[in-house]
Amino acid sequence: MSKSKFRQLKQNRTILTEKLKESLSSVLPVTGIVFLLCFSVSPVPNGLLMGFVLGALMLILGMGLFTLGTDMAMTPIGTHVGSAVTKSRSIWLVVLVSFLVGIFITMSEPDLQVLAEQVPGIPNMTLIVAVAVGVGVFLVVAMLRMLFRIKLSYLLIGVYALVFLLAQFVPREFLSVAFDSGGVTTGPMTVPFIMALGVGVAAIRSDSDAENDSFGLVALCSVGPILAVLILGIAYRAGTGEYIPVAIPEISDSKELSQMFLSSLPKYIKEVGIALCPILAFFLLFQFTRLHLKKGELIKICVGLAYTYAGLVLFLTGVNVGFMPVGNYIGELIGSLPYNWIIIPIGMVIGYFIVAAEPAVHVLNRQVFTITAGAIPKKALSTSLSIGVSVSVGLAMLRIVTGLPILYLLIPGYLAAAVLTFFSPPLFTAIAFDSGGVASGPMTATFLLPLAMGTCSGVGGNVVVDAFGVVAMVAMTPLIAIQVLGVYYKQKSKEAEETDAVSPSDPEDDDIITF
C-alpha cells in the first residue's frame, strides 16, 4: 500500500470515529428517555426492550456511516451535476434533469412506502407516483426560481395559500395524511442530493445572493407532495380505508431477537439499493458526457456511496425493527392511563432530542455552517430546530388527547411563518422552510408516528384523523423557530453596527454577536 493511500485510509478512519461520536451523542438522549419510560409509566416486555437496544446500536453505526458517505459521495455528486446542468445554459436541460431527479429519488424514499400503506382509499402505487410527480414539478420550480432570482418568500406564501384553499375540499379522514406526505418525501436520500444540486447551480451565479438562494429547494419540494395528495383526495374522495396497527413482535430468546433483525435486512438492502441506483445512473451519465472527473475523485465517490449504502441499511433496519414497535407499545400504554395528558410533556421532551437523530439534519447543519462561513453556528441552528420540534410534538399529542382538528393548528402556524418572512433575513427564511422538510425524516415516521398511533388507540380516538398529522406538525414549527432566530440575528447585527459606528476604533469593544 502506498503512503498516500495509507494516509487517506487513516484519515477516513479518523473521520468515521468523529461521525460515530456525533451519532452516539444524538441517539443516546432518545434511548435514555425510552428507558426511563420503560422503567416507570410504560413497562414493556424484555424481548421488545432488547430489540430496541439492538436497534439503537444499529442506528448509531448506520448514522455514522451515512453522514461520512454523504460528505464523500452524495454532496459531491449533487454539486457536480448541478454545476454541469447550469453550465449548459439550456433551460430545457435544467427542467428535464430536475423533473427526472425529483421523480426517481422520491419514488425510492423508504418513508413514502411506509406512509402509502396506511393511506385509506387510494392504491399505494397511485399515491407514490402522484407524490413523486409533485416533487419533480416543484424541483423544477425551485431550480427556475434560482436561475431567474425570484424571491422565495413570495413563492412560498402563494403555494401555501393554494394548499390551504384545496384543504377545504378534502375529507377530514384524508387531510392529515396529505400534510404528512410533504414531510416523508424529503428524507435521507432526497435531502443531501437536492441540497447539493442547489449548491452546484448557485456556484455558476456570480451575484452576492447566489449562495443564499441555494437554500429553499427542500422547502419547495415539500409543498409539491401536499398539493398532489390533496388533489388525489378530492378526486378519489378517500376515507373509507381502515388503520392497520403496528405488529408487536413476541420475542422469547436471543435467537428469535437476532432472527427478527436478520430477516428484515434483505428488505432494506433491496430498498436502499433501488434508492441509490437512480442517483448512480445520473452521475455516471454526466461523468461520461460532461464531468470527466479524475480517477482519484471517482474512487472517493464510489467509497462514499458504499458507506452511504451500508449506513442507510443499518439505520432503516434499526429504526423500523427496533424503534417502531416500542414507540407504538409505549404510546398505547400511556394513552390508556387515567392521566394520559402526560403524553404531552413526554412528547415534547422526545421531540426536543429526536430531531438530533435525523440523518438529514446533520447534512443541513453542515451546509449552513459552511456556506455562511460560521456566521450561523451549528449549535444555534440545532437548538432552534429542537425547540421547534419539541413544540410540534407537544401540539400533536394535544390533538390526540383532545381531538382538535389539524387545521386549527396548521393555519395559524403557517400564517405566523408567512408573517415572519417579512421580518426575518431571506437566508433564514430559506433555511427555515428547508428545516421543516429535513426535520420530518425516518425517526419521525418510524418512532413518533407509531407513538402517536399507539397513544390514539389507547385514548380511543380515530387513528387516521388524529394520529396522522404528527409529521405535518414536525414540518411546521421549525419554520417559525428558525425565522425567530433570524429576527434575533438581524437585531443583534443592527446593534453591533450601531456600536461600531459610535466607537469604531475602540480596541476594548467586545460586543459581538453570540448564540
pLDDT at position 216: 80
Residue 281 in this model has a pLDDT that exceeds 80: yes
pLDDT for residue 108 is more than 80: no
Could you list the beta-strand ranges (E) of 92-168: none
Can you spell out the DSSP letters for 184-238? HTSSTTHHHHHHHHHHHHHTT--STTHHHHTSSHHHHHHHHHHHHHHHHHHHHT-
Q: Is residue 130 predicted with pLDDT exceeding 70?
A: yes
pLDDT, position 118: 59
| Model confidence at 334: pLDDT above 60 | yes
Residue range 227-279, pLDDT digits in tens: 988 888 888 754 445 556 666 777 878 888 889 899 989 988 988 888 788 77
pLDDT band for 102, please (50, 70, 90 cuts). Answer: confident
Q: Per mean pLDDT, which range of 368-382, 397-411, 417-431 is the poorest?
A: 368-382
How many other C-beta atoms are found inside a 10 Å radius of the C-beta of residue 367? Answer: 21
Q: Given pLDDT bands bounded at 50, 70 and 90, which one contains residue 511?
A: very low
pLDDT tens for each residue of 461-491: 888 788 888 888 988 999 999 999 889 888 8
Give the percent of the chain with pLDDT over 70: 86
pLDDT value of residue 348 = 94
Instruction: Report the b/e string of 5-27 with b at 16+ CB within 10 A.
Output: eeebeeebeeebeebbebbbebb
Per-residue H/E/C for 330-362? HHHHHHCCCCHHHHHHHHHHHHHHHHHHCHHHH
Q: Band of the pLDDT at 7, cuts 50, 70, 90?
A: low
Q: What is the pLDDT of residue 394?
A: 94
Instruction: Show the 3-state SS of 11-51.
Output: HHHHHHHHHHHHHHHHHHHHHHHHHHHHCCCCCCCHHHHHH
More confident residue, 79 or 404: 404
The span from the CA of 179 to the CA of 445, in Å, is 13
Residue whose C-alpha is closest to residue 268's, from 66, 132, 451, 72:
66
> What is the three-class DSSP state of 377?
coil
Which pLDDT belongs to residue 9? Answer: 65
Higher pLDDT, 473 or 506: 473
Q: How far apart are CA 193 and CA 205, in angstroms?
A: 19
Mean pLDDT of 314-318: 87
Q: pLDDT tens across 400-416, in order?
A: 999 899 999 999 999 99
Q: Which of 211-215, 317-321, 481-485 has the lowest mean pLDDT?
A: 211-215
What average pLDDT does the segment 312-340 reach? Answer: 89
Enter the pTM of the model: 0.78
> d(Cα 477, Cα 390) in Å, to the nearest integer?
9
Inter-helix orientation angle 407-420/426-439, to 10° = 150
pLDDT of residue 54: 93
More confident residue, 481 or 507: 481
Residue 507's pLDDT is: 47
pLDDT in tens, 178-194: 888 887 777 766 777 78
pLDDT confidence tier of residue 381, bands split at 50, 70 and 90: confident
pLDDT (average), residues 99-112: 78
Average pLDDT taken over every residue of the chain: 82
What's the pLDDT at 510? 43
pLDDT bin (cut points 50, 70, 90) of residue 508 is very low
pLDDT tens-digit profile of 360-372?
Answer: 787 778 777 777 7
Least confident of 234-238, 332-336, 353-357: 234-238
Lowest-pLDDT range, 22-31, 139-148, 201-210, 395-404? 201-210
Residue type, 218: V
